[in-house]
């Protein structure tokens, strides 16, 4: 009995960080933002250095905050809107192969 109580108390006081349940959602969105980043990078020559730098900084900032954004109740709406805004600049949807769209 003492051994099982010891295991339970160790479990309850375990201070190691556990992977949040929302991690798969933020990973999914992170992959989408990486696609935008790659698409934007492929079009670098069409943007001024300043414009490219500003968009790149914004992408980096959003990707750094994805875990926090995905923890919000309206995460899907907020992050989807951000993706749409970056898509307007990067035109990722225009580069997509329609045969692979579900």
Residue 37 counted as domain residue: yes
Residue 7 counted as domain residue: no
For tokens 């749409």, name the residue.
84
Residue 15 counted as domain residue: no
Residue 70 counted as domain residue: yes
Q: Domain limits at 80?
A: 22-92
Residue 14 counted as domain residue: no
Number of folded domains that form the chain? 1
**For the segment 13-42, what is each residue's pLDDT rounded down to a tens digit?**
444 444 455 588 899 999 999 998 998 888
Residue 88 counted as domain residue: yes
d(CA 83, CA 18): 28
Residues 35-52: b if buried by 16+ CB within 10 A, e if exposed: bbbebbeeeeeeeeeeeb
Residue 9 counted as domain residue: no
Mean pLDDT of the chain: 77
Residue 98 counted as domain residue: no
What is the pLDDT at residue 93? Answer: 60
- pLDDT band per the 50, 70, 90 thresholds, residue 90: confident
């Amino acid at each position: 009995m003492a051994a099982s109580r010891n295991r339970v108390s160790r479990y309850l006081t375990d201070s190691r960080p556990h992977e949040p349940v929302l991690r798969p959602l933020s990973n999914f969105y992170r992959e989408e933002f990486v696609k935008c980043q790659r698409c934007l990078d492929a079009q670098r020559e069409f943007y001024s250095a300043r414009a490219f730098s500003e968009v790149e900084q914004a992408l980096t900032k959003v990707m750094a905050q994805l875990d926090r954004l995905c923890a919000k109740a309206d995460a899907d709406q907020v992050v989807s809107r951000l993706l749409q805004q970056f898509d307007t600049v990067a035109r990722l949807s225009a580069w997509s192969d329609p045969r692979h769209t579900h």
